[in-house]
A = this chain, B = another copy of it.
Amino acid sequence: MARSLRVDGGRPEVRVKVIDADVHPAPRSFAELRERVPEPWRSRNWPDQVFDAVETPTYVAPGKAQRRDAYPPGGGPPCSDPLFAEQQLFRDAGVDYAILLPLTVRPVPNPEHEAAVCAATNSWLADTWLSAYNHHDRYRGALRVCSGDPGLAVKEIERWAGHPHFVEIMLVAYTRAPFGQPHYHPILAAAVKHELPIVVHVNRAAGMGLLTPVGFASYFIEHHSLYSLLYATHLTSLIFEGAFEKFPTLKVVFAEGGFSWIVPLLWRLDNLWAEARSETPLVKRRPSEYVHDHVRFTSQPIEEPTDASRLSHVLEWADASHLLMFSTDYPHWDFDDPMRVARQLPAEMRERILRDNALALYGLPTTRRDHGSA
């Protein structure tokens, strides 16, 4: 193997080239999750779609959001069969480490209920993808917590504190208030206490979770087009509420929301801060400086201008060398292949985006064991 570095107790090590910051494992069946839901919720009658990772109660993406070739030959939803996932993710796509973000907790109005499904999800991920399926040690996970009840969220964080494979805390982007507001500060404090980044990711639900700033859109294509609006609002809130001053070691990852929109947004934020900062005296630095020190973005879906040279400029202006982490969004329909994305990236920032930024954020090793699978 060209990438083998050394032999350690018979196990060759290979240098890590690609870290995938956004992969979505699914349970093989509802039962896998349901049996882990704490009482009294397990015995109650509640709709399957709450933790349905496949069917969606609302806007339907092409192919129900799945890559058509990602359904395991033996059955079950995409990314539910560990061997088939290893084939597609590790061998076909060349990913070395993957960060797993389960989409098994759709937001529900009752936060106690949502917190129970989060607890089940975390138990399930710990029992399967982070242990039984993780013999190769190439998976890390995001811990699901319910942002609607920060007390329950903190309890769940404390329950898993010190687990070697949960490397971040996941919040769903659909909320009733932006993430900088004091309501969320107990969650931010717990994240900082345990040195875990917060990752914000979409996980569609019905109802208010599909709001735009001017009511509700009609089509999936509108909703998907406007993902970045959610992230822009949370980012602006975190900055101007002073979250990065109150929590100087806080790290936030915005996953699957795009990133080129930060260029015009940060121009605007920096200018407005210069002119109108008397309103927010806690905010000591230019907004773009907080982003540089505290915020990261995942790459999928990589922006694809008609003229590819434009992407290089935007990557430079968006400070992608520091801010961007590669992701595939496996097993979803709009999957990005690492080799194809690598060709689109300027050479001088390729390794940082494909590997180094995630390696630094999650404290991953620079090598991994070689199982003959790379």
Contact = CB atoms under 8 A, between A and B. Distances in A.
Interface in A17-38: none
A264 B303 contact: yes
A313 interface: yes
Given A220-B276, A229-B232, A237-B222, A261 B258 contact: no
Interface stretch (A68-76, A82-90, A186-194, A206-214): A206-214
Q: How many copies does the complex hold?
A: 2
A260 interface: yes
Contacts of A224: 272, 276
A237 B213 contact: no
Interface string A256-283: 0010110111011111110111111000
Interface-central residue, A173, A213, A229, by most chain B CB under 10 Å: A213
Nearest to A269: B225
Contact of A213 (B229, B277, B310, B334): B229
Contact of A229 (B221, B229, B314): B229
A267 B276 contact: no
Contact of A236 (B181, B226, B304): B226
B218 A237 contact: yes
Interface of A: 61-62, 173-178, 180-181, 211-222, 224-226, 228-230, 232-234, 236-237, 240-241, 258, 260-261, 263-265, 267-273, 275-280, 301, 303-306, 310, 313-314, 317, 334
A225 B230 CA distance: 13
B268 A264 contact: no
15 contacts: A177-B215, A177-B216, A178-B222, A213-B229, A221-B240, A222-B237, A224-B272, A225-B265, A225-B268, A229-B229, A260-B267, A267-B306, A268-B301, A271-B304, A310-B313
A264 B302 CA distance: 11
A263 B260 contact: yes
A241 B225 CA distance: 13
A279 B214 contact: no
